[in-house]
Amino acid sequence: MLRVDDLHVFYGPIHALKGVSLAVEEGEIVTLIGANGAGKTTLLRAISGLTPPRRGTIHFQGRSLLRRLPEDIVRLGVSHVPEGRRIFANLTVQENLELGAFLRNDRAELARDLQRVFDLFPRLRERLHQLAGTLSGGEQQMLAIGRALMARPRLLLLDEPSLGLAPLLVRTIFDVIREINGQGTTILLVEQNAHMALSVAHRAYVLETGRIVLEGPAEALRQSEAIRAAYLGGQAG
């Protein structure tokens, strides 16, 4: 579904991605783990058209995403839940969700997708007319994911969905990620919580200072001594 080949991204003189290549097959959850500053967020921004690469290719379902506007990439079926949620704080929950569907004109289907979001996140229905900026951090993360789902993506890019959340909410968010995938949405997940990410993913890539240094089945990486020492605090399980 998604193929990235030899991707190079620069921020001025800083070489942030140095020849990154990866693939995501339809129906998978693929996770990208690595330390802060490794380039994980940059890769998602390149895929969604927010940070143009200097070299390399990105193909989604056989179509190049290079030099496309971000809204055109959403229209093709790629939604991005950014790090830090980036909800519209001065709009209501309902208005945020409606903005997620701003490119759609299939009004009959919108109600069905709104119901899907409420089934995944019942708390959003309870907060429908509340200003998004007054929600808790966990509720804002639910809203950010729900807003992205309103575009009916084939591929969902998730950047640090558990960041800053209490442990119980982290588990809830990851249960929902599994459910979204089970309903047919392919997911590329960037996550600092390597243990949780590897527990839900089918495959994983490890990014270090702008380069992919390891890839493989998520369970194999979870059991790897090197990965456990670097990212899992030395703990198995």
Q: Where are the domains of the chain?
A: 24-52+66-77+153-236, 81-151
Per-residue pLDDT of the chain (237 residues; tens, 9 = 90+): 999 999 999 999 999 999 999 999 999 999 999 988 899 999 999 999 999 999 999 999 999 999 999 999 999 999 999 988 789 999 999 999 999 998 887 877 888 899 999 999 999 999 999 999 999 989 999 999 999 999 999 999 999 999 888 888 899 999 999 999 999 999 999 998 898 999 999 999 999 999 999 999 999 998 888 888 887 764 443
Which tokens go with 48? 């969604």
User: What's the CATH superfamily of 24-52+66-77+153-236?
Assistant: P-loop containing nucleotide triphosphate hydrolases (3.40.50.300)
Give the C-alpha separation, 227 to 235, whole Å: 10
State the CB neighbour count (10 A cutoff) for residue 56.
17
The secondary structure element, H or E, covering residue 125 is helix 122-126
- Residue 51 gets which letter from DSSP? S
pLDDT for residue 233: 63
Whole-number pLDDT of residue 36: 86
